[in-house]
Structures are given as C-alpha cells and as structure tokens.
C-alpha cells in the first residue's frame, strides 16, 4: 500500500518564478491496486512520482509504503521496495552492459550484493525464461550490449527488470510515451499482464487517455499539485476518453479565466 | 643508415629488460587511470598526485626503518584516501571531476613535500621487496620483472574476479548509468568513492614500487605520469580491445608494456628526452581526435546532398 500524506513541494521559493509543484497532495493506493495518473503539464505528476521514488525531497508531508514511513530515505534505499520504469528507454538500462548484466542488477535491487560471481548458470536460465515471455527474442541475446537494442526492446527489458522480485510498488513514468504506437501497445500489454499476474501495487503516469480508460482500477487526475478527481472501480468501467478530456476542458477554461 | 639502425637496435635491445621492469611497475598507475575513466565514467587526474604520494610515503617509511611491505601498505592507504577525497569533492560540492582531481593533485604536491621534508630522499640500500625473489641476484632487472610480474598477474586476476561479482557489477553500473544504478538500489556515493579510492591506491602502489626499484623518492616523480598513462591505456585498448571486462582490465597492463618499449625505442633512435612529453601529448591528441577526423571525412562524402538542400 502506498500513502502520500499532505505532500508539499515548492520550487524557487521566494523568487519571482516560484512554482508550487505539490500543494498538499493526499493519495492512498491499496495493495494490489493499479492507479493511472493523468493531468496536464505542470499538474505535478512527475513531482509526485519523483517524491515517491526519492529523487525529489518534499518540503513537508509524508510518504508511507505498507505503513512504513520512507520520507527520509534516499533513492537507493527505497529501491529495495520500489521499482521504476522511466519514460526515456536510455535511463532505465545500463547501455554499455549486457542484457544479462542488466537483469542481474535488477535482481539484486532488493538483495545484499555479495562477492560471489554474479552471472551463474541458474540465473542465466532464469533470465532466459523471464525474457521469453515478451516474445521479442531477447532471451537469445543475453550477451548483447543493451545499446544495440531498439528503444522498444530496451523499454520491454526495463519492464521485465522492474516487475522481477515483486516490488511493493511499481512506478511507471509515461513508460510508453517515447515508443511508436505499435511498440507502445506491445509494452503496455506486457505491463498489464505482469501487473495482473503478480498483483503489483502500481502507479502509472500517462498522457494517453485511451490507456487511462482501458487499463487500471482507478484514474487519478492531478491539477495544480493536488488530486483533482478520482474515478474508481464501477464508475471507471463506463468512463470514456471524451469524459476525461471533458474534465481537462473545464480545467483549461478555468486556467484561461484565471490568467 | 645501416649503422644508425644497428646502434639503435643494439641500445634498444640492451634496454628491453630495464624497460620491461619499469613498465610493469607503471602498469599499476595506468590501471589507476583506467578504473575512473572506463569503469566509473569519472575522468580523473588524481593519479598525477597519488603516484608521487605513494612514492614519498614509501620513501619516508623505508627511511624510518619500516619493512618494505609495511611501507607499501602505508602508501596504498594514503593513495586510497587521496582518491576518496577527489570523489567526495565531486559528489558533495558538484565540482567537475577534472577540477576536483586538479585540486587534490595540487594540494598533494604540498602534502608530498611536507611528508618528505625536502624535495627528494634517497633510500638506496634499504631492503626492498625485490630482494626477496629467490634464485636471482637482487638489484637486477630480472628480480624486478619476476616480482612485479607475479604481483601484476595476481592483481589482474583479482580485479577480473571482482568486477564480475555481484558487487563489482554494481560498481560498473554506476559508471554506465548512475540514474539507473540508483534506481536499482545501488549506493552511487559509496561505489564512486570506493572505486576512485581504489584507483588512487593503485597509483600510489605504483609510486611505492617505483621508489623501491629506483632507490629514491622525488616530489616531481609524478610529472606527466597521467598523459603517459593515458597514452599507454589507449595503446592497450587498441591492442587487446575493451569490449569485455577482462579485455578492459588487461588493456592498462598490456598497454604499459608496449608503450614504454616504444618510448625506449624512440630514445634509442636518438630522440632528445626533453621532446618526449610533446611527442606523447601529440600522440594522445591524435588518438582522441581520430574518431572526429573520421566523422569529418564521412560528412564530406555526404556533403553534396547537404549542399543540394541549400
């Protein structure tokens, strides 16, 4: 379970270009729940994700995972419980290392790293099995450097790396936005399959309204640094892309009037 | 002409064992340059200060009556600390790695002078690790080649093992992609400080061995060692490659052996020693410029299409 309590973050405080990124954001995501976060640019989606992953320190507020307060922990300590797929396929994998080495790094995310040989036969067989699920042929390219893979392959690898070891929380940061539509669908299908099979608590940020309608248990719409609207289970089954865009429209009008 | 070739060859061949001993010792400082540059993507100049630091500490320790192993141990420790300082300055104050290295290197010059109390120190006649090589006469190149050769082999194997362990793979990940490494639960600070510290220890080790080999320590013994090391590293990478971990680790040691023989050949051919740094610098520059020059030629070939658009 993820709990964000009264999260507040202000950039450039006291300067003319002061920007409130998070203004007392509250959000609870139950164990096994798949939340889809939408919102216009500057609504606080990235700030929220970065605050949860630890790369952005909050001014005030708390972040709890399964009841444990992780607000003060650095990124690498949170990583034992949180897995993340970045928007940029380049960020999520180590380009100059092989597919198998990347898988090893991900496997060790929540473990103590020892002075034993990393890539043993048992692990390689395991990686082959896990990558075969994607159907991209990555299981035959374990010794290929990741920078020789396509963006879609790299992002698929990132996904398999992230869902391995069943993290307490999976963060997906517009992870299909940089891919072509067909590859984006493949990665998205693989995401949904993994999240459902492993019952992962998942927070996905997306700009794709169709994805927000099709996937997940709850749509969470952010605006001006707090949760503007939530559309849960029963209601979400009937929601359409037009409905969601409608919510954007009222907000944009208000923004226009305010400016 | 024949005469010239003959004298060149004779003096070159006569110098091969001495040069080999020297290059094996300097292989460690090249390794100390390779680890930050290649394993951690942390261009670092600390070695220029850590090499004489190791030498000075070792010299003072020997002069104070410490055993050769204890003297090397002290040198390793101080080199490690020097490397850690550079990494810390970069991480904590967000100062560019090269500038952090220059700062530490410059400060180390004073530290080295303070440690020795003067600019050079003779330790001739004290016991060295080269005296322990059995069956050969101490003081001759063969003893050094055997001693340092065995150490090099052991360290190469140890490094090769370490960088394929779980911990070693994590350290390499920090160099490959620090954002990703952090997201995979790797402590980037610890890995960087430890890795650059290790590199500093290697440079200091090289300096300490050099002092035991030549019988004196000098604050200026590190002058230009970095550019020599880079040249050696590039030659090594050109010969053995850098695609896999063991090739990348072999490159500094192999490169040092080839590079110093080349230098010796140039000197035997009558090149004045003062010109050596200019030649080395030009060589490193050429190696660095090569990819850009190749790319420029590629662009020229494609130029007609470009001009067509204009």
Domain tally, chain A: 1
Q: Where are the domains of chain B?
A: 2-271, 275-310
ipTM beyond 0.85? Answer: yes
pLDDT at A253: 54
Give yes or no for residue A190 having a pLDDT over 60.
yes
Contact status of B188 with chain A (Cβ, < 8 Å)? yes
* A121 shares contact with chain B (CB less than 8 Å): no
pLDDT above 50: residue A108? yes
Alpha helices in chain B (DSSP H): 2-34, 47-63, 68-93, 97-116, 141-162, 166-176, 178-183, 188-214, 225-240, 245-268, 276-309
CA distance to partner chain A, nearest, from residue B241 (Å)? 14
**Does A77 touch chain B if contact means CB atoms closer than 8 Å?**
yes
Helix (H) or strand (E) holding A234: helix A233-238
B184 contacts in chain A (CB < 8 Å): 79, 105-106, 108-109, 161
Closest CA to A146 of A194, A94, A197: A94
DSSP string, B38-67: IIS-----THHHHHHHHHHHHHHHHHTT--
Q: A94–B176: do the CB atoms touch at under 8 Å?
A: yes
Tell me the whole-structure pTM to 2 decimals: 0.88
pLDDT, mean of residues A133-161: 92
Please give, rounded to a whole number of angstroms, the shortest distance from the CA of A101 to a CA of chain B. 7
SS3 (DSSP) at B309: helix
For residue A178, what pLDDT band results from cuts at 50, 70 and 90?
A: confident
Compare CB distances from B169 to A90, A109, A118 and report the shortest one's residue: A118
A180, A123 contact by CB (below 8 A): no
Contact B203, B57 (CB under 8 A): no
User: What CATH number is associated with residue A213?
Assistant: 3.40.50.300
Continuous segment of H or E residues that includes residue A11: strand A2-11
Higher pLDDT, A255 or A194: A194
Name the pairing type of β-strands A82-85 and A169-173. parallel
* Min distance A44 CA to chain B CA atoms (Å): 21
Taking the C-alpha atoms of residue A158 and residue A167, their distance in angstroms, rounded to an integer, is 14
Distance CA A185, CA A179 (A): 9
Give per-residue pLDDT as tens, A17-48.
Answer: 888 999 999 999 999 999 999 988 888 899 99
Q: Note down the domain range covering A167.
A: 2-258
Confidence of residue A236 (pLDDT cuts 50, 70, 90): confident
For residue A14, what pLDDT is reported?
Answer: 86
Enumerate residues 6+ apart whose C-beta is below 8 A from A239: A213, A219, A231
B183 to A77: CB separation less than 8 angstroms, yes or no: no
Q: Within 10 Å of residue B173's Cβ, how many Cβ atoms?
A: 26
Structure tokens that stand for A177 in this block: 């936005």
Residues A170, B107: Cα–Cα separation, whole Å: 47
Using the predicted structure, report yes or no on whether residue A79 has a pLDDT greater than 60. Answer: yes
Asked if the C-beta of A165 comes within 8 angstroms of chain B's C-beta atoms, the answer is no
Helices B47-63 and B2-34: crossing angle, nearest 10°?
90
B162 in A contact zone (CB under 8 Å): yes
Question: What pLDDT score was predicted for residue B305?
Answer: 36
CATH 3.30.450 assigned to B2-271:
no
% of chain A residues with pLDDT over 70: 96
Residues of B in contact with A95 (CB under 8 A): 176-177
Q: What is the DSSP letter of A192?
A: H
Q: Return the residue in B162, B167, B185, B246 with the most chain A beta carbons within 10 A, the one to mutate for interface testing.
A: B185
Task: Show pLDDT as tens, one digit a residue, over chain B (310 residues).
Answer: 788 889 889 989 999 999 999 999 999 999 999 999 999 999 999 999 999 999 999 999 999 999 999 999 999 999 999 999 999 999 999 999 999 999 999 999 999 999 999 999 999 888 899 888 887 776 688 999 999 999 999 999 999 999 999 999 999 999 999 999 999 999 999 999 999 999 999 999 999 999 999 999 999 998 889 999 999 999 999 999 988 999 999 999 999 999 999 999 999 988 898 888 898 989 889 888 888 888 877 655 444 333 333 2
The structure tokens 């050949």 sit at B265
């Amino acid at each position: 379970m993820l709990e964000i309590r009264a999260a507040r973050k202000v950039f450039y405080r006291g300067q003319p270009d002061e920007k409130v990124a998070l203004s007392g954001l509250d959000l609870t995501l139950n164990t096994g729940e798949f939340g889809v976060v939408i919102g216009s640019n500057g609504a606080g989606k990235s700030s929220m994700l970065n605050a949860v992953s630890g790369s952005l320190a909050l001014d005030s507020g708390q972040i709890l995972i399964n009841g444990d307060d992780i607000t003060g922990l650095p990124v690498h300590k949170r990583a034992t419980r949180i897995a993340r797929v970045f928007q940029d396929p380049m960020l999520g994998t180590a380009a100059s290392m092989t597919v198998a080495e990347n898988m090893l790094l991900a496997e060790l995310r929540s473990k103590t790293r020892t002075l034993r040989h990393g890539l043993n036969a048992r692990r390689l067989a395991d990686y082959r099995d896990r990558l075969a699920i994607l159907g991209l042929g990555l299981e035959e390219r374990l010794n290929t450097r990741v920078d020789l893979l396509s963006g879609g392959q790299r992002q698929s690898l990132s996904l398999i790396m992230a869902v391995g070891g069943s993290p307490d929380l999976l963060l997906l940061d517009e992870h299909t936005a940089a891919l072509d539509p067909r590859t984006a669908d493949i990665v998205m299908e693989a995401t949904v399959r993994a999240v459902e099979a492993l019952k992962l608590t998942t927070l996905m940020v997306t700009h794709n309204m169709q994805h927000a309608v099709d996937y997940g248990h709850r749509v969470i719409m952010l605006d001006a640094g707090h949760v503007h609207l939530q559309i849960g289970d029963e209601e979400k089954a009937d929601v359409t892309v037009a409905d969601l865009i409608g919510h954007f429209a009222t907000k944009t009008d208000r923004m226009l009037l305010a400016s | 002409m024949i005469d010239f070739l003959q004298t060149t060859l004779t003096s070159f061949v006569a110098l091969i064992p001495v040069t080999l001993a020297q290059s094996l010792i300097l292989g460690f400082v090249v390794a100390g340059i390779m680890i930050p540059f290649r394993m951690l993507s942390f261009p670092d100049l600390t070695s220029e200060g850590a090499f004489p630091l190791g030498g000075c500490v070792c010299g003072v320790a020997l002069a104070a009556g410490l055993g050769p192993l204890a003297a090397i141990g002290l040198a390793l420790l101080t080199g490690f600390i020097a490397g850690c300082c550079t990494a810390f300055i970069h991480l904590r104050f967000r100062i560019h790695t090269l500038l952090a290295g220059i700062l530490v290197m410059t400060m180390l010059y004073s530290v080295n002078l303070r440690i020795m109390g003067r600019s050079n120190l003779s330790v001739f006649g004290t016991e060295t690790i080269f005296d322990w090589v059995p069956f050969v006469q101490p003081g001759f190149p063969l003893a050094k080649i055997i001693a340092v050769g065995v150490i090099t082999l052991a360290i190469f194997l140890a490094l090769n093992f370490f960088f394929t362990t779980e911990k070693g793979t994590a350290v390499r990940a920090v160099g490959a992609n620090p954002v990703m490494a952090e997201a995979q639960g790797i402590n980037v600070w610890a890995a960087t400080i430890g890795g650059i510290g290790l590199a500093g220890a290697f440079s200091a080790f090289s300096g300490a061995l050099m002092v035991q080999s030549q019988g004196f320590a000098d604050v200026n013994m590190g002058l230009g060692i970095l550019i020599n090391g880079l040249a050696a590293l590039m030659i090594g990478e050109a010969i053995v490659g850098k695609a896999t971990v063991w090739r990348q680790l072999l490159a500094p040691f192999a490169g040092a052996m080839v590079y110093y023989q080349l230098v010796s050949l140039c000197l035997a051919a009558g090149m004045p020693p003062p010109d050596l740094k200019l030649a080395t610098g030009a060589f490193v520059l050429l190696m660095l410029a090569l990819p850009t020059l190749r790319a420029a030629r590629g662009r020229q070939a494609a130029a007609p299409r470009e001009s067509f658009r204009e």
